[in-house]
Amino acid sequence: GAGVSQSPRYKVAKRGQDVALRCDPISGHVSLFWYQQALGQGPEFLTYFQNEAQLDKSGLPSDRFFAERPEGSVSTLKIQRTQKEDSAVYLCASSPTWGGSTDTQYFGPGTRLTVL
Amino acid sequence: AQKITQTQPGMFVQEKEAVTLDCTYDTSDQSYGLFWYKQPSSGEMIFLIYQGSYDEQNATEGRYSLNFQKARKSANLVISASQLGDSAMYFCAMREAGAGSYQLTFGKGTKLSVIP
């Protein structure tokens, strides 16, 4: 079956522009996660959805970052007034159930954001 | 303190040989899951293997096995019969079962290069 898909794969923005990154999780997956991966680092957690409810947004670095999943499937990560330090790969992951410690997360290919 | 430590920034292995990638972790939870992911240059995080904290046997998946030593808080990945396609970044990650802890915490990764 289809895996997690993300679009666009690459995004170049001028500093100060707003961007929107899309994630299509695996069909039927309850949980959806966003991670940020800086160059040469491991991914870092941004936010978590269980269906349409955003249960954890503790990793969002500032109030310029906003995520939504209004119908419990597709999710959008929006970054307002982008800054150079926002340049990173943004990874989306989904998992089948509510997110226990045994629940495997399946990742998309990521969106590489470059802010000039 | 880092929750996941991968002490080998880079590793080289001869094709068809076995290689061990190190991972140590830090948690006070009794229930947790440990995961290994592979990230090729294309960027997608590919799930390899999972070990639960209560699992008594080491996990195996094809050429991948996890050497789990709970008392030492160690979860090393062993790749047998290395192939050229195994060249990639490898990340160890942990998911703690405590309330509100849904995300994966990743190490900084190990870059594996397989030499023909």
Residue B30's contacts (CB-CB under 8 Å, 6 or more residues apart) are: B53
Would you say B2 and B10 are in contact if contact means Cβ atoms under 8 Å apart? Answer: no
- Report the mean per-residue pLDDT for chain A: 94
Strand-strand pairing, B10-14 and B110-115: parallel
The per-residue pLDDT for range A49-103, each reduced to its tens digit, is: 999 999 999 999 999 999 999 999 999 999 999 999 999 999 999 999 876 667 8
Predicted local distance difference test score (pLDDT) of residue A49 = 94
Measured in angstroms, the CA of B69 and the nearest CA of chain A are apart by: 18
Predicted local distance difference test score (pLDDT) of residue B11 = 95
- Among A35, A45, A101, the residue with its CB nearest the CB of B32 is A101
pLDDT band at B59 (very low <50, low <70, confident <90, very high): very high
- Among B32, B53, B102, the residue with its CB nearest the CB of A48 is B102
Instruction: State yes or no: pLDDT of B100 exceeds 70.
Output: no
For residues B92-108, average pLDDT: 85
Q: Reduced to 3 states, what is the DSSP secondary structure of residue B41?
A: coil
**Percent of chain A topping pLDDT 70:** 97
The per-residue pLDDT for range B10-31, each reduced to its tens digit, is: 999 999 999 999 999 999 989 8
For residues B65-74, average pLDDT: 96
For chain B, say whether A26 makes contact (Cβ under 8 Å).
no
pLDDT band at B99 (very low <50, low <70, confident <90, very high): low
Predicted local distance difference test score (pLDDT) of residue A1 = 58
Search chain A and give the residue with CA nearest B52. A102
H helix or E strand, kind and range, residue A111: strand A111-115
Query: Given CA atoms B53, B89, A32, A26 in this order, what sign does their dihedral have?
Result: negative
Instruction: State yes or no: pLDDT of B40 exceeds 80.
Output: yes
Flag if B47 and A105 touch (Cβ within 8 Å): yes
pLDDT band at B96 (very low <50, low <70, confident <90, very high): confident
Structure tokens at B53: 């904290």
